[in-house]
Chain A
Amino acid sequence: MTSTSSNAQSSNSQSSSPLAAKPGQPGIDPRGPRFGATITVVLLAIDVFLGLTGVSTTSGTTLAQRATDPAFILLVILTLIFAWGAFAGIQRHPYGAIFKRFIRPNLSAPSELEDPKPPTFAQLIGFIVTGVGVVLALVGVPYGLVVAAAFAFVAAFLNSVFAYCLGCQIYVLLVRAGILGRKAA
């Protein structure tokens, strides 16, 4: 590490912080992603219910049975919504549109704005977890769908009820594991 590529900074220089939201990319109302997480909590609870009462817990099912299982179809939809948030950005999330249209007008102004990047990353983690559940269900691994949906449920619940973004917290662990954040050079 050379002295020119320092990545630490002093607090006394308030401007040009590399970690703040980029200029021209204003922060988002942190209540938006929490509202979205609340919808996700309900849908994932329904999916766990459908998963436990459907064919995904048993082995020896046909591909057609597995692919038409209501729990499977709902999890595919949830996976696609996570993909939307992860790849289009949390600002273009469909739940965000609902929040802006129907919820936000009834609320007071947010006390602070948040960088959109962490919740967008959390959507990616949600996409991976539910995507794994979709694959396990399609391959026919018993309880694969339920376990994946349950993990996603806990994460969405923490986000919704406790404002704790588990997906964001995983980031630094992935950096340490060498999966993310490596220098391109």
Chain B
Amino acid sequence: MDPLVVALVLVGLVALATVIGLVVRGREGRVREVHDFRRVIPAELDTPEHFGISATLVQFSTEMCAKCPATRELLSKTALEHAGVRHIDVDVTHRPDIANSFNIMQTPTTLVLDSSGAIAARIGGAPRPDALIQALNIAQRKEHDLYVI
């Protein structure tokens, strides 16, 4: 094969991997506001826990997740610092049904529920601390009260 083509393929591979890496880094841990107003109940998460009075941080984890333990620490700390906010960690390793139901494409994924249990925001990957505060603000804006189920 032409050495120039070989060199181009190698450079192209590095460029492709760099672009993928930059896109992943740019998206990871940021807030995506959710507008489908799906309301979650604890039974769907197979948890005996109650949701928070003002907001709930629902973390989806697996056993093979490098950033889940650090995310768990950050979310539980955030929950303790904000009155009425609770953190629930859901291990979907043995629950593909739950992972499918919430379309979990990566772990950790965090759903921020408002006081009614409606999904207000979604954070894919390890949340950035400022993103978490932003998501809590979205959940506590109470705009979700506008809809009727």
Contacts and interface: CB of A to CB of B under 8 A. Distances in A.
Q: How large is the interface on A (under 10, 10 to 19, 20 to 34, 35 or more residues)?
A: 35 or more
B25 A162 contact: yes
A87 interface: no
Contacts of A70: none
A176 B100 CA distance: 6
A161 to B, nearest CB: 6
Given A158-B24, A172-B99, A8 B90 contact: yes
A11 B89 contact: yes
Contacts of B55: none
Contacts of B18: 157, 161
Contacts of A69: none
A53 to B, nearest CB: 6
A153 B55 CA distance: 42
Interface in B18-39: 18, 20-22, 24-25, 28
A48 B75 CA distance: 42
Given A48-B10, A53-B1, A114 B62 contact: no
Contacts of A115: 66, 69
B121 interface: no
Contacts of B5: 52
A19 B100 CA distance: 20
A25 interface: no
Interface of B: 1, 3, 5-6, 9-10, 13-14, 16-18, 20-22, 24-25, 28, 45-49, 61-66, 68-70, 72, 75-76, 79-80, 86-96, 99-100, 104-107
